[in-house]
Amino acid sequence: MEISQKAVIGKDDFLFLGGADSNDLIAHISGDVKITAAALKVLRHNAAILNQLTCSKLLLVVPEAHVVYQDLLPDEIKVSEDRPVMQALPVLGAAAVYPLQKLRNLRAKGVCVYSGNDSHWTETAAFETYISLRSRLNRTGKFKYFYEPLASREAGDLRSGSPRQVIEKEMAQRKNYTSGVQNIFSNGMLNHGSASVIVNPRGTGRCLAFGTSFSTRLVPAYGCDFRETIFCYGTAIDPALVDLVKPDAVIVEMPERFIHYPTAAARGGTFVSALMASQTPGYKGILHDLTQKVSQNTESFIKAQRLLCRPAAALADLGLFNEAEYRSVEAEKIQAVLGIIARGVEMMPLRMLASGQFRRNVILYSIFGMIDRGEISLEDRAIIPDTEMGGLALVRLLIRGGKGEEALQVLAHTKEAWGTSPETEYYDDYLGKLVTAAA
């Protein structure tokens, strides 16, 4: 069987994520690279927004295979007790859970937590973890689950040289397990921009869940517990979506590997990300769209997704987007995105920016280039979130638009909220000279 380039071979032929496309996980797990102050600021910001919610909430940080099966790591890789997640947990607040001991206990009982073939935990481990955490969502009664969690049901991404094959297997994971729980909507995207809705007539309450590909193993359990489950890809809540859906419970899942570059909670980012991702070449459109009675809140979410997730040629009638109905999903931001799409601007960097992506230089400098070439301008500022990358992009936009005084104000806020950087130091000097010359 082929071994992926992103795999590291451990003892007993057990594979760990750690090669190409691994987000420098090994360096962080081993403590060779520390979490940055900027990342901790984002985590603190996200935790404050989550913990302010009045409904039940849970932030589930999934331990990596490296810490559950560290005895099978190559001898040269050691797990640090001072790795990023341990530094982050104190700032994540009361809603956060890092169920390392739970997973170790499951392994000790003979449960396959990670198979050694896949970079994600198994369906069985995910299900058992959710069962153990339900009480934190004030859900203590028994519930009927309509599927048998299987450790063998996985894509095996560490033993596949074909990304396409892995994607196809991951999409297959989203099919219904039984008729008891029905996936009534899916916008047909795999990761960024992905959204789906599950209905279970026997369940109770409405769950709004955010998460990554690890949640592929969790969402079926949510669906068996709640009457309505809305899942969106992302590792931070979208406050606009909370306002729209009005959930009884909010769950955020993020794997340990994402702790050191967290996405900042950005209002309306979920819908903007879906709209932009739908313009990706090869997007085929809505995967599931079945008619079934749901609450008005969930139907509003589905209606917005139906409007947004389609090819550019079919977006013309979004000029009639009902801002009164969807004001909580940032209609102004959506209208700005439509203008950008109409101009044929590259979507990927803007999608990463607008969805609150943690600072990445390749994205930031791509945005700077777009600003300098006039591909985005001040009329597009509604898409820019209050993040480090967003603040730096807005400063550059304001300078290009001749608004030096406002740029100074944005720069001061960006430094206070997210810290200093080479870019803030450059703009401090540049704007100081600019304002002095203007005076």
Please state the rounded mean pLDDT for residues 107-117.
96
pLDDT of residue 169: 65
CA atoms of 14 and 3, how far apart (whole Å) = 11
Give the rounded distance of the alpha carbon of 137 from its chain centre. Answer: 21
Residue 163 has pLDDT above 80, yes or no: no
pLDDT at residue number 47: 96
* DSSP-based three-state secondary structure for 255: strand
- Which pLDDT score, from 0 to 100, does residue 289 have? 79
Rg of the chain over Cα atoms, rounded to whole angstroms, equals: 22
Q: Could you give the percent of the chain with pLDDT greater than 70?
A: 90
Residues sharing a CB contact under 8 Å with residue 340, sequence separation 6 or more, in sequence order: 347, 350, 376, 380, 383
Give the Å distances, CA to CA, from 169 to 113, 160, 201.
Answer: 19, 11, 28
Give me the count of residues in the chain: 439
Instruction: Assess whether pLDDT exceeds 90 at residue 133.
Output: yes
Read off the DSSP letter of residue 329: G
pLDDT at 85: 96
pLDDT category of residue 174 using cuts at 50, 70 and 90? low
Pairing between strand 7-9 and 15-17? Answer: antiparallel
Q: What is the pLDDT of residues 398-411, one digit of tens each?
A: 999 999 999 999 99
Closest CA to 358 of 43, 85, 51, 119: 43
Mean pLDDT of 36-65: 96
Is residue 252 predicted with pLDDT exceeding 90? yes
Residue 159 pLDDT level (bands cut at 50, 70, 90): confident
- Interval 257-312: pLDDT, tens: 999 989 999 988 888 888 888 888 778 888 787 777 899 999 989 988 888 887 66
Lowest mean pLDDT among 79-93, 117-131, 217-231, 280-294: 280-294
**Distance (Å, whole) CA 7 – CA 239:** 36
Confidence class for position 234, pLDDT limits 50, 70, 90 = very high
Using the predicted structure, report yes or no on whether residue 319 has a pLDDT greater than 60.
no
pTM: 0.92
Residues 6+ apart with CB under 8 A from 16: 7, 8, 10, 65, 66, 69, 72, 73, 119, 158
Is the pLDDT reported for residue 51 higher than 60?
yes
H/E stretch holding 211 reads strand 206-211
Helical axes 361-372 vs 347-354, angle rounded to 10°: 120
| Separation in Å, CA 399 to CA 7, 57, 392, 403, 410 | 45, 41, 11, 6, 11
Q: What's the whole-number mean pLDDT along residues 369-390?
A: 93
| pLDDT value of position 190 | 79
